[in-house]
Amino acid sequence: MNGQQTLRALLDRQERERQLVAYEIHDGLAQYLSAAIMHLETYEVGLPGGVGSDSHINEVLRLLREATAEARHLIAGLRPPALDELGLVAAIETLVADARLEIPHVEFAAALAEERLPADWETTLFRIAQESLTNIRRHARASRATIGLTRQPDGGILLQIRDDGRGFDPTAIPPQHFGLEGIKQRAAFLGGTATVTSYPGQGTVIDVQLPPPVDRRTGNSV
């Protein structure tokens, strides 16, 4: 097995594991939490003082609802259901909604119409967008970020993530920081490239260019 095949196998295995954990949380923990909330709400209605009359039940319900929200957040971080059910654009929109909690202005524009890309392309583009937004939230101190997703004239895909944060020197990234390298490796996995342009005090731009998507089953471009 060569290096490219090893990378493909590792990424495929990682995605399968993420998906399984997401399903376990959704079908197990999240369902139990929802059932507990419904039982308590039903019990609360029958109390002499009605809904909101028992401070202890109110607090338990609050904690259960927060736990449910956290479970949903974990599911979305592992592998959002929207990626499989609705596609790449909807899944990135969930990332953008989360990012707006910490970055004042986040914009997302997609020019893919309603088309679905092969699973490999959607997963790769989603993970790159996810890692990029995570890096912006953790390190950039940005007030604005934009994401653009477009189909190129040759059929290829361009994903661009831009922020107005503090920037950095890409040649001075410590070797133990794998985020940017992971983005480049994911792009290379599909025969594409990821270019990082940044200067201290001038923000960062990540350009990811992938070749026209190919359906593995037929070998045809899509």
Size (the chain), residues? 222
The pLDDT, as a whole number, for residue 65 is: 86
State the burial class of residue 173 (Cβ atoms within 10 Å of its Cβ: 0-12, 13-18, 19+). middle
Contact indicator for 125, 159 with CB cutoff of 8 Å: yes
The residue extents of the domains of the chain are: 3-79, 87-210
HSE toward the beta carbon, residue 30, CA cutoff 13 A: 16
Residue 204 has pLDDT above 70, yes or no: yes
Q: Which of 52-61, 81-90, 199-208 has the highest mean pLDDT?
A: 199-208
Distance in angstroms between the alpha carbons of the first and the last residue of the chain: 28
Q: What single string gives the DSSP state of each residue in 57-94?
A: HHHHHHHHHHHHHHHHHHHHHH--HHHHHT-HHHHHHH
**Residue, of 165 and 120, whose pLDDT is higher:** 165
Each residue's pLDDT tens digit, 147-182 = 999 999 998 999 999 999 999 988 887 665 567 888
Separation CA 199–CA 140 (nearest Å): 12
CATH (residue range 87-210): 3.30.565.10
The pLDDT, as a whole number, for residue 128 is: 93
Each residue's pLDDT tens digit, 15-55 = 666 666 665 666 667 777 888 888 888 887 777 776 667 77
The pLDDT, as a whole number, for residue 131 is: 87
Separation CA 203–CA 142 (nearest Å): 8
Each residue's pLDDT tens digit, 133-148 = 988 988 899 999 999 9
The pLDDT, as a whole number, for residue 61 is: 84
**Residue, of 220 and 121, whose pLDDT is higher:** 121
What are the two backbone dihedrals, phi and then psi, of residue 116, each rounded to the nearest 5 degrees? -105, 140
Contact indicator for 187, 145 with CB cutoff of 8 Å: no
Q: Is 112 helix (H, G, I), strand (E, B) or coil?
A: coil
Separation CA 218–CA 142 (nearest Å): 43
Residue 118 has pLDDT above 70, yes or no: yes
The pLDDT, as a whole number, for residue 19 is: 64
Average pLDDT over the chain reads 82
Residue 70 has pLDDT above 80, yes or no: no
Each residue's pLDDT tens digit, 72-102 = 767 666 677 778 888 899 889 988 988 998 8
The pLDDT, as a whole number, for residue 88 is: 92
- Tokens in use for 219? 């070998």
Separation CA 109–CA 212 (nearest Å): 20
- Tokens in use for 78? 């592992």
Q: Which of 4-13, 76-85, 207-216 has the highest mean pLDDT?
A: 207-216
- Tokens in use for 30? 């999240």
- Tokens in use for 70? 């956290």
